[in-house]
A and B are shown apart, each in its own frame.
Chain A
Amino acid sequence: KAGVTQTPRYLIKTRGQQVTLSCSPISGHRSVSWYQQTPGQGLQFLFEYFSETQRNKGNFPGRFSGRQFSNSRSEMNVSTLELGDSALYLCASSPDREQFFGPGTRLTVL
């Protein structure tokens, strides 16, 4: 089976812009979670989607949003980017308790 794929792998934006990141889960996995990884903060949970519904949400401002499509592919959007949004954004798909991660999208905000 193909693994979790994320596009793009690298992205450079400026403050105030918005960005959309994409994640394609492993075939058959209906749960997709998003995490933000920054140095010293580990993986911070953003949200989880299952069958196009958001089931769980972390403590991030409303500028961070997501959605899931009927084919389980998911997108994450960040509006009005801030310098502190620079991070590695990881997507994970899951059939049960274990999560399978994609390689991440490295976002740099200048």
Chain B
Amino acid sequence: DQQVKQNSPSLSVQEGRISILNCDYTNSMFDYFLWYKKYPAEGPTFLISISSIKDKNEDGRFTVFLNKSAKHLSLHIVPSQPGDSAVYFCAARSMNSGGYQKVTFGIGTKLQVIP
């Protein structure tokens, strides 16, 4: 039961253009969403996040949009740079009955930015 879905395993974009990575979720109890970037041979690094009470969060070239009614979020990278080539994981947080957080990850989307 995949509660966080990244349906595109890979994406290729020309340098300077916009990259849009998509993520769908099924659990309405998720209250916080995060994007992580992972380079080969390294652990994931936090990129940007958004609370479920917001619909947009921007940080430099990175913007995350949240559509709660559609249970969909997307990460926009503008302009895309070759150094952005990595695997991007969408993640969502829920709280268990003890009030402790659990983070659920998608399977990742491999972004390739072509110079």
Contacts and interface: CB of A to CB of B under 8 A. Distances in A.
A25 interface: no
A48 B100 contact: yes
B43 A42 contact: no
Interface string A25-53: 00000000101000011111100101000
B99 to A, nearest CB: 9
A64 interface: no
Contact of A97 (B42, B96, B101): B101
A43 B102 CA distance: 12
Contact of B102 (A41, A42, A48, A103): A48
A31 B43 CA distance: 17
A55 interface: yes
B43 A45 contact: no
Contacts of B103: 33, 45, 99
Contacts, number: 53
Nearest to B98: A55
Contact of A42 (B93, B100, B106): B106
Interface string B66-109: 00000000000000000000000101010010101111111110
Nearest to B43: A101
B34 interface: yes
A77 to B, nearest CB: 20
B102 A98 contact: no
Interface of A: 4, 33, 35, 40-45, 48, 50, 55-56, 90, 92, 97-104
